[in-house]
Amino acid sequence: MRFVLHGEISEEVRAALIAAGHGCYALEEVPEDVAELLGELGKRQWDLMTVDGEFVRQIYERKVAFGGVVVQILGGAENVVERLFERYPRLTGRRLYMVTRSRVKIRQLPGANER
């Protein structure tokens, strides 16, 4: 998988993603608008990993459809990458994976039923 890291994500998470064989990317100019950012990621077929709860809230409030995966790290969870891929070896598109210290929760993203 290829992730854009959004927000203050630790270097350990980046290193763990690379060690697990995933790509980590950064956009030169990150659009502030949720729909623009997810549209850009969709064009490139990249997924998103974020610590920004406000950003995730805006996805649902504005009902922004996104065909990729969004991973939200909650509460400074440690071993995020290991926990996520141990529990779910293959992530499904159009889903939000919320990783906490003790578990991984999944929600459908807006537009998940529209194909």
Domain spans in the chain, listed from the N-terminal domain onward: 2-108
Which pLDDT does position 72 carry in this prediction? 96
What value does the CA radius of gyration of the chain take, rounded to a whole number of Å? 13
Which of 73, 100, 61 has the alpha carbon at shortest distance from 9? 73
With residues binned 3-state (H G I as helix, E B as strand, rest as coil), the percentages for the chain, rounded to 5, are: 30, 25, 45
Which pLDDT does position 61 carry in this prediction? 96
Which pLDDT does position 112 carry in this prediction? 65
Which pLDDT does position 76 carry in this prediction? 72
CATH of domain 2-108: 3.40.50
Which pLDDT does position 111 carry in this prediction? 79
DSSP 76: T
Give pLDDT < 50 ranges for the chain: none
How far apart are the C-alpha atoms of 48 and 6, rounded to whole Å?
Answer: 7
Which pLDDT does position 26 carry in this prediction? 81
How far apart are the C-alpha atoms of 53 and 41, rounded to whole Å?
Answer: 18
Which pLDDT does position 77 carry in this prediction? 67
